[in-house]
Amino acid sequence: MQLAGRVAIITGGGHGLGRDLAIGLADAGADLSLCGTNAAALQSTASELRARGRRVVSQVADVSDEAQVERWVANTLEELGKIDVLINNAGITGPTASVDKVARADWDHTLAVNLTGAFLCAKAVLPHMAARGSGKIINISSVAGHIGYALRAPYAVSKWGMLGLTRTLAAEWGKKNIQVNAISPGSVAGERLERVIKERAAKSGMPESDVRREYTSMAALDRFIPAEHVAAMAVFLASELGDSITGEFLQVAGGFQLG
């Protein structure tokens, strides 16, 4: 129970990787506060966490809306008393298209959720963490934040930006004993990846099987990444074992681009 007595808040915590992160931290002993835009998914995950004996706050909130973020953080502090860990996980895939065919609205929306949302959540929790003299922020980036990613410009740019935000926050807040790191997952198995594969196949004219093979072949391990492996890295960083790590980009990607 590495995280017993700690409170972690997770954006996009109702489904997909966010759910797996929440379960991983709950099983390590943390109490949780989740936000997301899908009320049913949040309620389902919250029920799973309570069944594990954890205290849970769940709230519908759009991370790109500063007022909604501030209400969620305030409600968490009122209900759970403190915030030890923030995991900025909320994200959308954005459009699959070449840059000349990406609508400005889609560009703005992708960056608003994936990058501005992380900024707003960090801004909301940092004064509390600094006052307590400790804190952890874990930003979920992507291997897309380390490469050029054809047909996925808004998503890739948002994930590159997440790395810059991570390094900047680490430099600003280290003297307050706040560690800030990014996890860059590879192709995480699940519904979201399957949707990306379908969209990429439709746009490129390739069979879905070929697109799937294209993704796995970029990794030395030649397979997709289980979500629980990303959650395990988050638990490590959130625990005392991660206290001397800050400003780092940790890839859980199966040896991406080494394959």
- Residues belonging to the active site: 155
In the β-sheet with 85-88, what is the strand arrangement from edge to edge? 56-60, 31-36, 7-11, 85-88, 135-140, 178-185, 249-252
Q: For tokens 């889609």, name the residue.
A: 106
* DSSP label at residue 147: S
> How many angstroms separate the CA atoms of 178 and 172, rounded?
9
Inter-residue contact 69 to 103 (CB < 8 Å)? no
Residue 35 host element (H or E): strand 31-36
Amino acid, single-letter form, for residue 116: T
Quickly count: other Cβ atoms within 10 Å of residue 127's Cβ: 11
Residue with tokens 């050029």: 148
φ and ψ at 184, to 5 degrees? -110, 95
Centroid of chain to Cα 214: 24
User: What type of residue sits at position 72?
Assistant: W
The one-letter code for the residue type at 60 is V
Of 17, 245, 238, the closest CA to residue 142 belongs to 17
